[in-house]
Amino acid sequence: MNPGEHILQFRSDAMDPEEVLDDLLGELKLRNYSVTRVNNIDSIYQRESTPPGSLEFSFYKIVEFCNLESCSRIIAADLLSGVFMPARFLVFRETGSSESVLAFLKPTAFAELFDSSEMMVLAKTLEEDMQQISEEIIG
């Protein structure tokens, strides 16, 4: 698997990562997704007293989300499909950069691992939705 062809990135100098995260959470809610967790990776490092300047990022959040109906259909297609659920967006800013990044691994990259046409259809729908969300937020 070539990560470069399976990970989509959207970059903006015009938006702070906090703005990107807030807009992402709002957009997911509008599209009837449930946000199951926001992993505050940057905060974990701050709590662990990581020395300033030793990290390559100043902001790093992983947003996990799902649509219960779609999740049920994917699981029904193959019980092992849960290994790549819920879906995730990544919002980060590299240390010293003014660019905010919104990224995700294409759901079709995971769906290819399973021999299920139904799962691929669902993955394509989710991927299109994730791309539309990203384009609406960052463009």
Q: How many domains does the chain have?
A: 1
**Alpha-carbon span 115 to 117, nearest angstrom:** 7
| pLDDT given for residue 44 in this prediction | 61
| pLDDT given for residue 55 in this prediction | 63
The residue ranges of the chain whose pLDDT is under 50 are none
Structural domain including 75 reads: 3-137
pLDDT tens digits, 75-102: 888 899 988 889 999 999 988 889 999 9
Name the token pair of 40.
């505050």
| pLDDT given for residue 91 in this prediction | 97
Task: Transcribe 58-96 into DSSP letters.
Answer: EEEEEEEEE-HHHHHHHHHH-GGGGGG-SEEEEEEEETT
**Alpha-carbon span 75 to 82, nearest angstrom:** 7
What is the domain-level CATH number for residue 103? 3.30.310.70
Q: CA torsion 64→29→78→7, rounded to 10°? A: -50
| pLDDT given for residue 56 in this prediction | 75
